[in-house]
A and B are shown apart, each in its own frame.
Chain A
């Protein structure tokens, strides 16, 4: 297109020219980290502004969050408890998102995984006197299997009928919650309350405090065996994504589906498999929450872990090992957020962080060059 010629009188022109150019090379890792950090600081400032507008004291709010989540060994342990489901759900999202498969249904897969684990105890599949390891094994399998089924449905619909997985996974969330509620209210209700009976001790995941006799410092620490699940899963997902053929194909489909198709990779098969794997991870998160924290089936088992997992995955740039670290930070936010007024603040912080993150991607793809205007 030809240069626009201005025939009017010459007017004042800014002596510098700001131009935006696409980056041709990959940015170094420190730069990407810096941008992410900048986005987080920016969002915390915006949140501070909003808190000030609604009449709160932003700095006291932040100080409270820091103290209530990292102030002592006890609360650090509580932070880890909140971080465990986030790690697993964050991994579930990272795996699916890497293929650009938008599994927004981790929340539902979490609930249905919790249902599966509870069913082992409540049906009951095993007698109460069965050994703990057998309970944990069966509960984990049931949680993962049901989560995988919950992932299979949208995956299959996407592969077979090209049904938008964002909407189908989201709808499955609501279905999972209603499904759980039916069992909580109608089948396993204990004494008219909207919860099942307390599970016997043999079904509980071991916690640090259980070993207080041997290691006195563990007394009162509630971090549970789910952490082992989460860390193992992080390593396994990392190995799958970056060290296996399957992971290579997943990444190829994510980066360039057309090239993947030409290379003979079946996108449909991978769609179903990845959704199932993703669902299984989120289901395991539900199982670990039931076995490690709640010890009964009830309605309020998740403060939106499934949705926070999306932000965790994105903040970690879909890197499974980074998911672990980011989860701890968001675990802190959820833990401390319970006492903050107004109660929506943790959700708002998450939303603003995600918006700033997405916007900050711009600086990774483009560079802003400021050059002095030449004489014309």
Chain B
């Protein structure tokens, strides 16, 4: 078990979580909580894979995945922004809807043969840097590199640009934003759509790059929900989202790799000699999500910061309150 390989693979599989987390981060910053990530990712993974099977072009598949998941997210937008229904329940229902739809439309897809995937490549020069070059810049999927770019761009957009300021205003104090002439409804629709698109990207990254194929619900295996947890851990900050996503990716990989060697830290490896203990390893990402949530909410209490103030609340023009 080579730690560099574990982290390298962790960054790759963490990219999926990163896209979903970043998307939800934008959505939540605008004050909309969308719990439908899992469903939208499944829609993305399914449509990316099926379009690629049909056309042979993974890029086309990726675009369709983003649009399909974006469309699903607009259902959530319509229900919560226009109809002002409960965001929690609507998000759950969108998750069910996405899961069900992707199972029906993806029927038989798992039998499709090999398809052309998104390319992998090594970046010259920086890949020569010891360790870091091996981990981050050697033989990674193009989606991983897109992930590297999206994080600083997202941070800059949210914290340093005018539209980013509008985004924050809409999530923190929509009434004031409205008074300044920002269209709260349009902003919230837009960022809900952005969240959907990013989930489509995450789903497409699974089925076209990280673990190619369509395995019905097991394609995502709860990663959409882990991403919802990671947004809380990230304190709505893209860099922390990246840290969380890659850590989780590495953890998922470690669980697979730790069962390989006969010796572990000088002891005989219990996971090698009794593979059934692997079930306890399988619990780790989920248990870890809970631990991360505990840490995240403790820190939020200490630093007196946290969720966007208007998160989860519908905005009704002319009504008192946020």
Contact = CB atoms under 8 A, between A and B. Distances in A.
Nearest to A354: B93
Interface stretch (B52-60, B114-122, B160-168, B290-298): B290-298
Contact of B276 (A54, A157, A186, A347): A186
B289 interface: yes
Interface stretch (A23-31, A173-181, A219-227): A173-181
A347 B103 contact: yes
A54 B89 contact: no
A273 B84 CA distance: 30
A307 B106 CA distance: 21
A168 B79 CA distance: 25
Contacts of B48: none
Interface stretch (A69-77, A197-205, A321-329, A355-363): A355-363
Nearest to A348: B100
A357 B83 CA distance: 12
Given A163-B290, A170-B222, A351-B98, A342 B104 contact: yes
B257 interface: no
Given A181-B279, A362-B85, A167 B289 contact: yes
A50 B102 CA distance: 11
Secondary structure call for the B interface: helix
Interface stretch (B145-153, B198-206, B225-233): B225-233
A348 B226 CA distance: 23
A175 B276 contact: no
Interface in A202-245: none
Secondary structure call for the A interface: helix
A316 to B, nearest CB: 14
Identify the interface centre among A171, A181, A350: most chain B CB within 10 Å of its CB. A171
A175 B100 contact: no
A121 B299 CA distance: 45
Interface stretch (B124-132, B186-194, B280-288): B280-288
Nearest to B287: A175
Given A347-B99, A362-B84, A163 B294 contact: yes
A349 interface: yes
Contacts of B105: 54
B100 A185 contact: no
A344 B104 contact: yes
A135 to B, nearest CB: 28
Nearest to B94: A355
B180 interface: no
Interface string B289-319: 1100110011001000000000000000010
B293 A163 contact: yes
A44 interface: no
A182 to B, nearest CB: 4
A125 interface: no
Contacts of B108: 342
Given A344-B100, A361-B83, A102 B88 contact: yes
Contacts of B276: 182, 185-186
A351 to B, nearest CB: 4
Contact of B286 (A163, A175, A346): A175
B283 A174 contact: yes
A354 B107 contact: no
Contact of A174 (B89, B229, B286, B318): B286
Contacts of B289: 167, 171
A178 B100 contact: no
B297 A163 contact: yes
B85 A164 contact: no
B97 A354 contact: yes
Given A161-B294, A174-B286, A182-B280, A350 B103 contact: no
B297 A344 contact: no
21 contacts: A102-B92, A157-B293, A161-B297, A164-B232, A171-B226, A172-B286, A175-B286, A182-B280, A342-B107, A342-B108, A344-B102, A344-B103, A346-B100, A347-B104, A350-B100, A351-B95, A352-B100, A354-B97, A355-B96, A358-B86, A358-B89
Interface of B: 35, 39, 75, 78-79, 83-86, 88-90, 92-108, 216, 222, 225-226, 228-229, 232, 274, 276-277, 279-280, 282-283, 286-287, 289-290, 293-294, 297-298, 301, 318
Given A171-B222, A345-B104, A354-B93, 14 more contacts: A54-B105, A161-B294, A163-B294, A164-B297, A167-B290, A171-B229, A171-B286, A172-B286, A178-B279, A182-B277, A344-B106, A347-B103, A351-B96, A359-B79
